[in-house]
Structure formats: C-alpha cells, structure tokens
C-alpha cells in the first residue's frame, strides 16, 4: 500500500468537552441530553491525610478564576468544625477579598464571554475591534478586582495569604488606601456596565426556577447565612446533605445535583439576586431598577445584567470596607483542632459552593466533600436547553449550536473552554 | 483522567488531517512525549488503542519518542509530529 507522511507538529491540549444530543421526531422535540466532561474529583482524595490548615491552599488550586471561593468555603468549614468565630476587621477583610473575586470573575464573563454573544461577535477579540472603549473599560474593571485579591491574598491567582482563623498577614490602613480611588472609578464603571448590558437584545425566556442561595439577616451573601429557596427551603448549611443529593446519570460523567427527592435547582447570580434583592446596597438596587429588572429575574439571558449589578454591589461593598477599616491587633484567631465535622457554604461568583470535612483528633482531614456550583446547575442547564431548543427546531445546525452555547454561557459554567465548545448531535426521525 | 481528554483532542486532529487529505486510513503516527507529560510509551499505547477504536486510525503504527530533558520548553507537552496516511 502506498503511503504519505504529513508533518503536523501539533501540541495536544486538555479541553473541556461539552456535547449536546438533540432528538427530534417529526416536528417535535423528543429529547435533549447535555454531556459534560467532569473529571473525577481527585481533590477530595488529595485532602485525606493532610492537615486541616492545608485545606484552603489545596482547594484553591481547583479553580484559577475563583480560588477565593474555595478558600472561603474551606476556612469557614474548618472554623465551623473547631467552633471558632472570625469577627470584626478580619471578617470584613474576607468580604473585601470576595468582592475582588466577584469583580474579576463577573467582569471576565460579562465582557469577554457573554457580551459578544448578544452583539453577534464570535469572541472578545472581534468585540474589541468594533468597540475598543467598551473592552478597555472591562479590562480595567477586571484589573481593579485582581488588585484587591493581590493586595489581600499575596498574588492574583491562587492567593497564599488566607488561613483557617484569618490571614497570615493583614494590610495596614495605608496599604489599603490606594485601592479606594480605584474602587470609586470601578463603581462608576460598574454602573456604566449595568446600563450598557441592559440595552443588549434579550430573547423572551422567562423560566420557572427553583432558586437556591445563602441568605443573611442583613448582608448580601458572601460567606455566611442560611440556605434558602423561593419554594420555602430555609435550612442551616449543616443540613445540606439531608436536603441535597448528587446523582449519576447514564448519559454524562458529570454528577447531577437535585433537591431531594429529585428537583433540579439553580444557584448563582440570578438565584442570589432574586432571593436577596432587599439586601443589595441602595445604589445597586437603584441601578437594577433603572436597568428594567424587578426584584427577581427569571430570564437566564438577563444574567449579564444581574452579574453587572453584582459587580456594582461588590465595588460599593469594597469602598465601605476600605473606608471603615481598622487594622486588627493580630491577623488570625487561634485554632484548637480536634475530632469534629465542619460544614460551610459560601457564594462563589457562579453560585453556592459546599464543603464538608471530617477531622480527627490530631487535626488531620479524614474525609472531604466538595460540591461546586456548576455541577449543581447541570440539571437546570439541561432543562433550559430543552425549553430553548424546542423554540428553535427550524434553525440550521450552526445557528442552533451557537444559540445553545449562548444558553449554556448564561450560567457561567466551569467548563475549561466555555467559548466554542459544544459538539451538537441532532437526530431527526 | 485528563489523558482521555488529551487523546480526544489528538484523535480530533488526526481525523481532521485524514479528512483534509481524503485518506480513508491512517497507517501510523509519530508522537513525542515530554519528560513531564505524565505519559509513558506503554500508557500512551493503551490509551490510543481505546481512543482510536472504530476510527480511521484504528490499528495505526505508533512511533513514540520519550524525551528525558525536563528543561525542554515543551517538557509538559505531547506533540503529534506527523501522520502517515494511505494513498
């Protein structure tokens, strides 16, 4: 047999895989299945046998976009186990750190991933060509979030300054002050972002969701609160496992989370906003109203406006914290480890992130469970796609793929490549 | 588990090359495994056998070069050098 050798020199890449199977019978939709490649959660095994104090640094490596969320859920779960309260300026600094992450993560999604969809651009590069000032504003806004994380966390990605009980070092007032001017600019830019995102063209797509998020007596939720839903759920995070469960489904190697016995539910900005509108700062509430939002939002495409409102909320909160900051005498609260179980939920930009640990008397982790927001939303994403595809059966394959990708992007999912990632199989009978 | 994703990407590339060249079969491929790529030659063979099953590259000859230089700029990478197709 004759053969020919083709030079390729191609570097293999690890990529997230998304595949959507759509079955159409005649003119009706028969089935929609979303397959997401979710690697096994080896992190839960890495943690076994490690010191309780290593959990924030190990789990931070799970995500480069939202390491703070992992650190915060880890430290709060450990403090819950050892019955420690972190209050005052240390608690405020943690909220400030979370503000930084929300600003950078949300801004990245709003400007780089989501907005191009609405404006008919393939990506942010095309968007930048047509609207350079908009993209520059986005980049500068994102940078202001990164700077908070760098200052408090020691570096932008996988920060190293968070510990169980507080921080390794806390900044002086003088060190925080330069952030103030920048955050005031960021607050204005966030307000512009809300106005700008509100004018994008949105499809009519109101859905009847079960929203779940944390709720705190007087704050928009970051690190603390009870888990509530719009269907009457109101529980302590200690009871998470009694109400929520993860199921395996045959068509995907990603687990599906459900509210027992089997209700899909929705975590993230839309849920937080709809359950906590009354906890937003006045400036964020007013911006949301001016943008045409009510006190709840059930159109996932409008999550871009809600994310922008949350950026504004985070900027406003950051300014409040920086202005009132008094450096504490010590950077952490002493910890006495012992045999215990600890539970925590915090609000990652993408939604509620649950950690549970079992620690032995020497302070060694014996068991760890981590439930990230994307996996909790899988079933709801699939349900949304089913409703969405049903209205677009006559679209071409490429058009339908792009629309489905856009519908998935509404959730800001943790798919390593959430840009053009979807393999679409349409079976017509 | 990330090997499965790497292999999928590699198969996509190999099948793409075959399609571009209008080749119905891939007879062989050459790869270089970086010193820090977490893949041994036998590991790669095993994964390739599974990933290529039922594809144009099923049964292809594998030429695998395992690099030992940890300081090589591509030490972490798996490089598909060339693809041999049937004429």
Instruction: List per-residue pLDDT tens for chain A, 429 residues long.
Output: 789 999 999 988 766 567 888 898 888 889 988 887 666 678 999 999 999 999 999 999 888 889 999 999 999 999 999 999 999 999 999 999 999 999 999 999 999 989 998 998 988 889 999 999 999 999 999 999 999 999 999 998 899 999 999 999 999 999 999 999 999 999 999 999 999 999 999 999 999 999 999 999 999 999 999 999 999 999 999 999 999 999 888 887 778 899 999 999 999 999 999 999 999 999 999 999 999 999 999 999 999 999 999 999 999 999 999 999 999 999 999 999 999 999 999 999 999 999 999 999 999 999 999 999 988 998 999 999 999 999 888 888 888 888 888 888 898 887 544 455 677 788 887
**Minimum CA–CA partner of A42 in chain B:** B1
Q: How far is B71 from chain A (nearest CA, A)?
A: 17
Task: Kindly determine whether residue B80 and residue A17, on different chains, have CB atoms separated by under 8 Å.
Answer: no
B79 DSSP β-pair partners: A11, B32
**A37 chain-B contacts, CB cut-off 8 A:** 4-5
Whether B46 has its CB under 8 Å from any CB of chain A: the answer is: no
Q: At a CB cut-off of 8 Å and minimum separation 6, what does A371 contact?
A: A244, A246, A257, A353, A354
Q: How many other C-beta atoms lie within 10 A of the C-beta of residue A37?
A: 21
Closest residue to B27, CB basis, from A3, A17, A42: A3
User: What does the pLDDT read at residue A404?
Assistant: 86
Task: Kindly determine whether residue B81 and residue A1, on different chains, have CB atoms separated by under 8 Å.
Answer: no
Whole-angstrom distance, CA of residue A141 vs CA of residue A187: 9
Task: Kindly determine whether residue B78 and residue A11, on different chains, have CB atoms separated by under 8 Å.
Answer: yes
**A5 chain-B contacts, CB cut-off 8 A:** 82-85
Mutate to test the interface with B, among A1, A2, A4, A6 (most CBs of B within 10 A): A6
Tokens 């590339």 correspond to: B13
**B78 chain-A contacts, CB cut-off 8 A:** 11-12
Alpha helices (H) in A249-302, listed in sequence order: 269-276, 282-290
**Minimum CA–CA partner of B1 in chain A:** A39
Average pLDDT of the residues in B15-26: 95
Put simply, the chain B residues between 4 and 23 with a CB less than 8 A from any chain A CB are 4-10, 13, 17, 21
Q: Output the CA–CA distances (angstroms, integers) from residue B61 to A220, B24, B25, B43, in the order listed.
A: 60, 15, 12, 15
User: What does the pLDDT read at residue B73?
Assistant: 87
**Minimum CA–CA partner of B11 in chain A:** A12
Q: How many other C-beta atoms lie within 10 A of the C-beta of residue A266?
A: 27
Q: What is the 3-state secondary structure (H, E, C) of chain B?
A: CHHHHHHHHHHHHHHHHHHHCCCCCEEEEEEEECCCCCCCHHHHHHHHHHHHCCCCCCCCEEEEEECCCCCCCCCCCEEEEEEEEEC
Q: Is the pLDDT of residue B38 over 90?
A: no
Q: How far is A14 from chain B (nearest CA, A)?
A: 5
């Amino acid at each position: 047999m004759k053969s020919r050798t083709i030079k390729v020199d191609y570097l293999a890449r690890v990529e997230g895989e998304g595949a959507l199977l759509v079955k159409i019978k005649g003119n009706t939709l028969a089935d929609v299945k979303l397959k997401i490649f979710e690697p096994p959660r080896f992190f839960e095994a890495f943690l076994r046998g490690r010191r309780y104090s290593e959990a924030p640094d190990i789990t931070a490596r799970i995500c480069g976009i939202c390491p703070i969320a992992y650190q915060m859920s880890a430290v709060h779960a450990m403090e819950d186990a050892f019955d420690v309260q972190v209050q005052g300026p240390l608690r405020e600094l943690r909220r400030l750190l979370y503000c930084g992450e929300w600003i950078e993560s949300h801004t990245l999604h709003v400007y780089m991933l989501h907005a191009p969809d609405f404006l008919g651009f393939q990506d942010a590069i095309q968007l930048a060509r047509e609207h350079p000032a908009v993209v520059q504003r986005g980049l500068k806004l994102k940078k202001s979030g990164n700077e908070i994380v760098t200052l408090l966390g020691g570096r932008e990605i996988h920060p190293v300054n968070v510990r169980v009980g507080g921080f390794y070092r806390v900044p002086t007032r003088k060190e925080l002050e330069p952030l103030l001017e920048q955050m005031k600019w960021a607050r204005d830019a966030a307000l512009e972002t809300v106005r700008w995102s509100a004018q994008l063209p949105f499809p009519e797509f109101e859905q009847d969701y079960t929203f779940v998020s944390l709720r705190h007596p007087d704050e928009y939720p970051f690190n603390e609160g009870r888990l509530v839903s719009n269907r009457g759920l109101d529980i302590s995070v200690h009871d998470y496992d009694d109400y929520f469960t993860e199921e395996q489904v045959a068509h995907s190697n990603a687990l599906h989370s459900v509210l027992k016995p089997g209700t899909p539910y929705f975590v993230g900005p839309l849920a937080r906003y709809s359950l906590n509108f009354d906890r937003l700062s006045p400036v964020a509430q007013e911006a949301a109203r001016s943008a045409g939002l009510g006190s709840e939002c059930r159109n996932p495409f409008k999550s871009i406006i809600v994310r922008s409102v949350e950026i504004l909320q985070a900027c406003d909160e950051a300014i409040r914290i920086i202005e009132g900051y008094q450096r504490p005498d010590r950077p952490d609260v002493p910890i006495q480890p012992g045999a215990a179980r600890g539970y925590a939920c915090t609000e990652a930009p993408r939604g509620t992130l649950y950690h549970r640990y079992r620690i032995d008397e020497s302070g060694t982790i014996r068991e760890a469970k981590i439930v990230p927001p994307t996996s909790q939303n899988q079933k709801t994403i699939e349900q949304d796609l089913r409703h969405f595809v049903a209205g677009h059966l006559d679209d071409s394959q490429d058009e339908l793929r792009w629309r489905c990708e856009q519908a998935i992007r509404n959730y800001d999912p943790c798919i390593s490549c959430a840009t053009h990632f979807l393999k679409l199989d349409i079976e017509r009978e | 588990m990330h090997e499965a994703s790497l292999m999928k990407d590699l198969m996509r590339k190999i099948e793409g090359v075959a399609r571009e060249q209008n080749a119905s079969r891939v007879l062989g491929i050459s790869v270089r495994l970086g010193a820090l790529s977490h893949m041994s030659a036998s590991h790669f063979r095993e994964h390739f056998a599974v990933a290529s099953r039922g594809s144009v590259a099923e049964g292809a000859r594998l030429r695998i070069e395992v690099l030992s230089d940890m300081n090589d700029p591509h030490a972490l990478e798996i490089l598909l050098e060339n693809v041999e197709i049937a004429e």
